[in-house]
Structure 1
Amino acid sequence: MTSPQHDSEPPHLPDVDLSAAHASVTLLDRLAEKLGGRASVTAVYGEPVTAGGVTVIPVAKVGFGFGGGAGREVGAAKTGDGGGGGGGAGAKPLGFIEIRDGVATYKPIRDPWSDVVLPLAALVIGGVMPKLLHALRRRRRT
Structure 2
Amino acid sequence: MENQDTQSSASSSFVERIAEKLGGAANAARIYGEPIERNGITVIPVSKAMYGFGGGGGKKAGEEGSGGAGGIALTPIGYIEISEGSTRFRSIRDPQTLIKIFAISGVVVLLTARSITKIFRK
Provide the TM-score with structure 2 as the length reference: 0.70
Work out which of the two has the higher radius of gyration on C-alpha atoms and give 1 or 2.
Answer: 1
The answer to whether 1:28 aligns with 2:15 is yes
1:100 shift after superposition: 0.9
> In 1, Cα distance between the equivalents of 2:37 and 2:79?
13
Contact kept in structure 2, 1:17 and 1:71, CA below 8 Å: no
Cα deviation code 1:8-37 (max 9, x no counterpart)? xxxxxx885322221221222233223312
Which has a greater percent of strand? 2
1:124 shift after superposition: 9.8
1:107 equivalent in structure 2: 90
Contact kept in structure 2, 1:50 and 1:56, CA below 8 Å: yes
Taking every aligned residue pair, what percent have the same amino acid on both sides? Answer: 36
Gap runs ≥5 in structure 1: 1-13
Which has a greater percent of helix? 2
1:43 equivalent in structure 2: 30
* CA shift in 2, pair 1:120/1:18, >3 Å: closer
1:38 shift after superposition: 2.9
* Number of aligned residues: 122
Contact kept in structure 1, 2:42 and 2:82, CA below 8 Å: yes
